[in-house]
Amino acid sequence: MRILQITPHYYPQRGGVERHVQSISEGLVAQGHDVVVITMAMPGAVAAERINAVPVYRLQAVGPTSAYHVPLGLADCLLNCPNFDVIHVHNYHAAMLPIVAALAPGRLVITPHLNDRPHSRIAGLLHMPYSVVGRWSLRRARAIVCVSAAERARLLSRFGLQPERITVIPNGVDLAGAAGTHAVQRDPTLLLAVGRLQAYKGVDQAIAALTRLPAAYRLVVVGEGPCRAALHAHAERLGVAGRVTFVGAVSDDQLAGWYRRASVMLAMSSAEAFGITVIEALAHGCRAVCNDIPAFRDLATQMPAHISIVSGDHAEAVAAATLKAAHSLAVAADLAPFSWGRIVERLMMLYAEAANQPSAPASLRLLNSRIGIRA
């Protein structure tokens, strides 16, 4: 099968969506499928390259904000490359989506990765007018893939879509790369926060929890973003700056090392479609304390022994859950449903149904019933 993946950003840029698209693209290629990735160019990036056997084409883009950049030449690519069986667009808030919805709806699969939290003030202002074209684009797709039941419920309530057209296929984790990490000697006083340093990620709440924990506890913050200076200042105001270390963006191997050394990861985000760092932490034997939002509750329901849900607004509750998790007996989580191999298999089922059936909603209703998704 020939599959075109369209995403705003791709490796070496880092993030949950970027990791998702890279992992499924490489997994599909490993199974013998032809996969091409179209994304937007980064400063200094080459226009075309092959990354781990996946051809990647980077188009120059223009627009008022990075959330709504329009890649130049995307329409020409779609019109001149009509032989893709499936065109899979990632990220609802991407201006690429309506272009594909207009030109190739019969082959369109969408993974919205929708958390509804803008990354900038300009993006927030554009969300409302964009919702009109976004709703239209979603309704033209042959199939929609949500990464969690929480995201699926959000789409159904907001856009009035046909339930049978939406399938839940979660984000994944590299289980092979995490094998054997549960035997590592951990530091029960080392805590971790991982992600872009945006306000909605709640790193300030993880820092505030330190004020309710014994002085031996310290927090390592992995990631970069516009809030880094403000978070530094926040730690200073709370008197815990000496217990917080900002390590910035790190490689995959370095991140795995932090997961292996830390006892607890604090995920205080106020909006997520899934929670890929939570699954990564568990894969490396690190427990998770998460803010009480639907996506994290979904994961906690599946793995209650490994994920604690608290209100991030209450530092004492976060600290209490952290202490309990840090000193709990380590038990390996069953993450087989989140292996990238399993996820690629489920995607291929969906691609085959969406590409080959004249009536996508009817065929997807059957597919959903096979994998346990109710309308």
Q: Transcribe 247-297 into DSSP letters.
A: EES--HHHHHHHHHHEEEEEE--S--SS-HHHHHHHHTT-EEEEES-HHHH
Residues linked to residue 295 through DSSP beta bridges, in sequence order: none
Residue 63's pLDDT is what?
72
Q: What is the 3-state secondary structure (H, E, C) of 166-230?
A: EEECCCCECHHHHCCHHHCCCEEEEEEEECCCCHHHCHHHHHHHHCCCCCCCEEEEECCCCCHHH
Pull the structure tokens for residue 24: 């499924």
Q: Say how far apart CA 268 and CA 204 lie, in whole Å.
A: 9
Q: At what angle do helices 294-302 and 276-283 cross, to 10 degrees?
A: 30
| Pair (6, 150) in one structural domain | yes
Structural domain includes residue 205: yes
| Pair (12, 158) in one structural domain | yes
- β-pairing verdict for 61-62 and 70-71: antiparallel
Residue 328's pLDDT is what?
86
Domains contained in the chain, number: 2
| Pair (145, 230) in one structural domain | no
Tell me the pLDDT of the chain (375 aa) as tens digits.
999 999 999 998 888 899 999 999 999 999 999 999 999 987 666 788 999 999 999 998 887 666 667 888 899 888 887 689 999 999 998 889 999 999 999 999 999 999 766 555 655 556 677 789 999 999 999 999 999 999 999 999 999 898 999 999 999 998 876 655 555 678 999 999 999 999 999 999 999 999 999 999 999 999 999 999 999 999 999 999 999 999 999 998 999 999 999 999 999 999 999 999 999 999 999 999 999 999 999 999 999 999 999 999 999 999 999 999 999 876 778 899 999 999 999 999 999 998 875 444 444 444 344 434 343
Closest by Cα among 82, 45, 49, 85 to 61: 45
| Pair (116, 207) in one structural domain | no
Each residue of 147-184: b (16+ CB within 10 Å) or e?
Answer: bbbbbbebbeeebebeebbbbbbbbbbbbeebeebbee
Backbone angles phi, psi at 329, to 5 degrees: -65, 130
Torsion over CA: 144, 26, 54, 354 (sign): negative
The CATH number assigned to the domain holding 249 equals 3.40.50.2000
Residue 363's pLDDT is what?
40
Residue 375's pLDDT is what?
39
| Pair (165, 191) in one structural domain | no
Helices (H) and strands (E) in the chain, counts: 14, 16
Residues linked to residue 309 through DSSP beta bridges, in sequence order: 290
Closest by Cα among 298, 323, 296, 324 to 311: 296
| Pair (42, 187) in one structural domain | no
Query: Are the CB atoms for 98 and 129 separated by under 8 Å?
Result: no
Q: Which domain holds residue 303?
A: 175-334
| Pair (119, 45) in one structural domain | yes
| Pair (359, 330) in one structural domain | no
| Pair (137, 83) in one structural domain | yes
